[in-house]
Structure 1
């Protein structure tokens, strides 16, 4: 997936890990900052029932956030997400490229099932290394920002408070659901993108380099597929990383059971609209930026 057409044309069948890491980090940081307001709304919508509040629509959540905290309220918790997303995207693309190289057949091709397996490995890796800490901190900072008197004075203070109250395990709360979500996300996203890209290169622009708008469109389509297939993991992950999780849920399975029995099956897709908007933009941005920046980094390392 992430080997650029230009690199392939020059016969560079194996990606350079450092270039993959740097290009992935730039792509991940850019994508996180641009799409964070949608991530903030999605997280707030998923908190609703747990906090005993009336369920809001995405528009109502947006209006309420801006009225209460201004536009800056949509960026509460953005710093750990930008940093974490840069790290996790770097890890994701690097590990995916390495798994992909190992799983290619004798002709140098990667089938859809193997691409999915490589994506699963990449997602699990990023979940452990980067995603769980940044997601936990982001979730708690967004939840804290909704209080009349927020306790956290910033990211550093928030991290110190979480560790002081819950220990280092508090930063890794929800690691199981995060691994499931990230593994599923990357498996679906990479395999979808890889398959759609191969179809485009084979029929629409055989032998040519894809223009940026086509890369964006394929990445956005992969984002849509990813959202609907992995949303339940995301809802459970958000609930498990809340402040109330320690007293409300014994584990991720208990959390999923309570959501199903107390709130209904379709609650697992709560927050789909803002997440859909985010991953459509995310898929388009991250793959486009990666494909365009990888050659530059590859030429330097």
Structure 2
């Protein structure tokens, strides 16, 4: 589901008989991943909206609004539906992102396993990094750019773009070309690579530890999977937050006139707003990734189990 982010990691501590029942079929990973991503994206979108608005650069001398203020102002201006402004882009992108993420991770995982079929912590981090880079290129950058521009545009008195996903995307492409929806690619790749590496590594390590110490040779119940995924989300937020802030600013409507590139954006943000600005929006992102990690891992594992049982 960030993020907003996720893994189909099966326990390396599982017995051969149990491992054999879980088939790393690419089609299964794709189906389970896209479904989990779509469910997670829609369920947590109001939190994502709040985080994105909080990350937009503040005017000189103006205090950045807090999450409660953002929600209150949005409800007063556009009603509850305003909290879902740009939702279509994120849900579609999240579904594609999760599909690419799980498919890529399982592919890299199969390459990096040792002779005993196990995946060490460092190799799990490497597989996650590769998966994050793939999802950044093929799914996250265009969907996040469109979502960010539509949210930014929605704050204006007179909108520049239509609010819907398809007409809004068409308008952005007409004005800026394909490059317009790939703005901020480098910080997105850095964020997604770090996100997936930390998230996969944390989830894999915790899952292997819990499965090996409490349920050797057995699959974990949904509640435990949700909890492990939530903890992985917490770790991910605080280690990758600066990438997320820079990504949002590079994809805003004023980015072309305000920043000359990613490094300039980092320099301007640090000079004008200080180090704390790189963790702006951490609270709503934390709330979203805790839920995201729990939802996406749980939905993924359940769907994979269902698909495996139907082909057993």
Please tell me the TM-score bracket, short chain as reference: over 0.9
Range 198-207 or range 8-17, more displaced: 8-17
Range 201-210 or range 59-68, more displaced: 201-210
Residue number in structure 2 paired with 1:58: 67
Deviations 1:30-49 (A, max 9, x none): 00000000000000000141
- Residue 12 of structure 2 is aligned to residue 2 of structure 1: no
- Residue 276 of structure 2 is aligned to residue 266 of structure 1: yes
C-alpha distance in structure 1 between counterparts of 2:310 and 2:159, whole Å: 45
Residue number in structure 2 paired with 1:132: 141
**TM-score, scaled relative to structure 2:** 0.92
C-alpha distance in structure 2 between counterparts of 1:144 and 1:25, whole Å: 28
Check the 8 A contact 1:32/1:82 in 2, yes or no. yes
Number of matched residues?
301
Check the 8 A contact 1:217/1:284 in 2, yes or no. yes
Q: Which has the higher contact order (CA 8 A, sep 6+)?
A: 2
Check the 8 A contact 1:31/1:286 in 2, yes or no. yes
Residue number in structure 2 paired with 1:209: 219
Deviations 1:82-132 (A, max 9, x none): 111000100000000010011011111111100000000000000000110
Residue number in structure 2 paired with 1:27: 36
**TM-score, scaled relative to structure 1:** 0.95
Closer, same or farther in 2 for the Cα pair 1:200/1:156, shift >3 Å? same
C-alpha distance in structure 1 between counterparts of 2:244 and 2:233, whole Å: 14
Residue number in structure 1 paired with 2:285: 275
Residue number in structure 2 paired with 1:170: 180
Segments of structure 1 that go 5 or more residues without pairing to the other structure are none
Q: Shift of residue 206 of structure 1?
A: 2.3
C-alpha distance in structure 2 between counterparts of 1:131 and 1:26, whole Å: 16
Residue number in structure 1 paired with 2:87: 78
- Residue 47 of structure 2 is aligned to residue 41 of structure 1: no
Check the 8 A contact 1:23/1:90 in 2, yes or no. yes
Segments of structure 2 that go 5 or more residues without pairing to the other structure are 1-6
C-alpha distance in structure 2 between counterparts of 1:166 and 1:220, whole Å: 38
